[in-house]
């Protein structure tokens, strides 16, 4: 799925609808917050906020050919899926396939090309009409698709037709940091509802990687935006009472974009794995991602960088093991439309080479088809909080303009942060060829290696 928030890029006529949809979401969140303050607890609302109010914006975004093109021309994404299908054509040959969130239909077309008997292309947006339009020309165009693809315009959770169990479910349900957009829940629902026992699910797993980064320029640019709200005489108005909220808001915005791998202060943590063949929907609603790094350089940690890998591992069929295909969105890998994401700290963390930094990110679903994230980093022997603490839960529940006590509490070698994964901002200044610049030295980025 596309990396930018689907609420962007709307036409003028869409904006009125977007405005009122967002207002409905805001009112729902305010009502839930009022209930919490009054001591009313609704487990269903708190554990799995509904995405339905956001659906018109979300599916409207993916109905546009311009956004489908953005994903199709991602050669890493498209070629990886094609390789996973064609290198395992024995699994697709004469099989029933379900393509969840079919979009342009390209995965359905690859599946048919690999010999599928029938492909059910499930697409809730108006791209379903575009797939039908393409299929209507199979007498003269793409003849290999003739009578091989059935289009179902629906969310997979809302299908009314009686569909058979399928041999393979294929989907591209991936967002920024793997889980943004909450399509993985639909992927898992399709697996539990429509996949035959022993069937194949592609992709089969994903892995999240986290690493500390330093970037004084990005931090300074962000603080420069914040400092506007220090103005005490802006056309006669004193905006300084809003400074603290402005700082919280700017630093709560994850920064999406390719970044220089040389800005990383340590090797990434052990991968946080998601096995899509077994993970449950409930596990996707509230994730805790632990990390531990041994710092390579003395300097300042300005935040946490994140990316993911995907794997397509088919189950063995008789003596046929199939081919595993992998893909990485790491900063030192080929660029993808997912890019990477960085979570800025409001206050950098000073570290020395050899220090051990431990911590976690707790990620909880929200009604914006995304996640609220809170996290903590500590250095060496500084005690690490329990991510299940009531203070952490409160920090996840409150609006960004409300500063919970847990978030404000600081120790010299501890940093805490809160981020809204749906409120992404973008940084496109990095030039990939700089990554191979032999003249680069760590001190250029204010990173100082230990003396030899």
The residues carrying an active-site annotation are 172, 181
Phi, psi of 329 (to 5 degrees): -110, 25
C-alpha to C-alpha distance for 185 and 189, rounded to whole angstroms: 6
Element of type H or E holding 17 = helix 12-37
Q: Are 123 and 152 in contact (CB under 8 A)?
A: yes
How, if at all, do strands 149-152 and 118-122 pair? parallel
CA atoms within 13 A on the CB side of 285: 13
> DSSP string of 161-209?
S----EEEEEE---BTTBTTTS-HHHHHHHHHHHEEEEEEEES-EEEEE
Q: Are 289 and 360 in contact (CB under 8 A)?
A: yes
Q: Are 375 and 342 in contact (CB under 8 A)?
A: no
Q: Are 218 and 446 in contact (CB under 8 A)?
A: no
| Cα–Cα nearest to 95, from 132, 128, 123, 120 | 120
Q: Are 112 and 148 in contact (CB under 8 A)?
A: yes
CB atoms within 10 A of CB 253: 19
CB atoms within 10 A of CB 42: 11
| Cα–Cα nearest to 261, from 212, 208, 302, 223 | 212
Length of the chain: 452
| Cα–Cα nearest to 186, from 86, 59, 89 | 59
Q: Which residue has the tokens 């709307």?
A: 10
C-alpha to C-alpha distance for 311 and 333, rounded to whole angstroms: 15
> Encoding tokens for residue 129?
């009409």
Q: Which residue has the tokens 């809160």?
A: 418
| Cα–Cα nearest to 415, from 305, 272, 303 | 303
Q: Which residue has the tokens 């489908």?
A: 68
CB atoms within 10 A of CB 272: 19
> DSSP string of 173-184?
--BTTBTTTS-H
């Amino acid at each position: 799925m596309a990396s930018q928030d689907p609420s962007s890029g709307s036409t003028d006529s869409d904006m009125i609808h977007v405005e009122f949809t967002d207002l409905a979401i805001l009112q729902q969140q305010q009502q839930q917050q009022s209930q919490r303050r009054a001591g009313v607890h609704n487990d269903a609302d708190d554990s799995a906020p509904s995405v339905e109010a956001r659906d018109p914006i979300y599916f409207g975004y993916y109905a546009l050919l311009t956004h489908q093109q953005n994903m199709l021309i991602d050669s890493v994404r498209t070629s990886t899926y094609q390789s996973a299908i064609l290198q395992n054509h024995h699994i697709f040959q004469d099989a029933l396939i379900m393509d969840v969130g079919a979009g342009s239909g390209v995965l359905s077309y690859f599946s048919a090309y690999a010999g599928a008997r029938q492909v059910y292309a499930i697409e809730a947006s108006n791209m379903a009409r575009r797939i039908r339009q393409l299929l209507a020309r199979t007498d003269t165009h793409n003849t290999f698709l003739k009578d091989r693809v059935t289009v179902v315009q629906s969310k997979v959770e809302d299908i009314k037709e009686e569909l058979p169990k399928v041999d393979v479910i294929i989907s591209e349900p991936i967002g920024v940091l793997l889980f943004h957009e909450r399509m993985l829940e639909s992927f898992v629902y399709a697996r539990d509802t429509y996949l035959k026992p022993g069937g194949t699910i592609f992709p089969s797993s994903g892995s999240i990687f986290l690493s500390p980064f330093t970037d004084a320029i990005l931090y300074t640019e962000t603080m420069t935006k914040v400092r506007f709200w220090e103005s005490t005489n802006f056309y006669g108005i004193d905006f300084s009472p809003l400074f603290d909220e402005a700082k919280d808001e700017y630093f709560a915005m994850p920064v999406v974009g390719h970044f220089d791998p040389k800005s990383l202060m340590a090797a990434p943590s052990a991968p946080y794995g998601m096995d899509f063949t077994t993970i449950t929907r409930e596990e996707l609603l509230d994730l805790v991602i632990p990390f531990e790094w041994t710092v390579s350089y003395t300097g300042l940690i300005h935040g946490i960088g994140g990316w993911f890998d995907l794997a397509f591992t088919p189950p063995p069929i008789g003596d046929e093991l199939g081919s595993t295909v992998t893909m990485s969105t790491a900063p030192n890998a080929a660029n993808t439309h997912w890019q990477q994401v960085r979570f800025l700290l409001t206050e950098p963390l000073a570290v020395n080479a050899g220090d051990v930094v431990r911590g976690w990110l707790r990620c909880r679903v929200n009604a914006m088809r995304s996640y609220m994230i809170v996290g903590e980093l500590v250095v060496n022997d500084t005690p690490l909080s329990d991510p299940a603490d009531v203070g952490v839960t409160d920090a996840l529940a409150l609006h960004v303009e409300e500063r919970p006590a847990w978030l404000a509490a600081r120790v010299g070698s501890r940093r805490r942060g809160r981020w809204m994964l749906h409120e992404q901002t973008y940084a496109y200044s990095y030039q990939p060829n700089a990554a191979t610049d032999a003249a680069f030295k760590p001190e250029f980025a204010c990173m100082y290696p230990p003396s030899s």
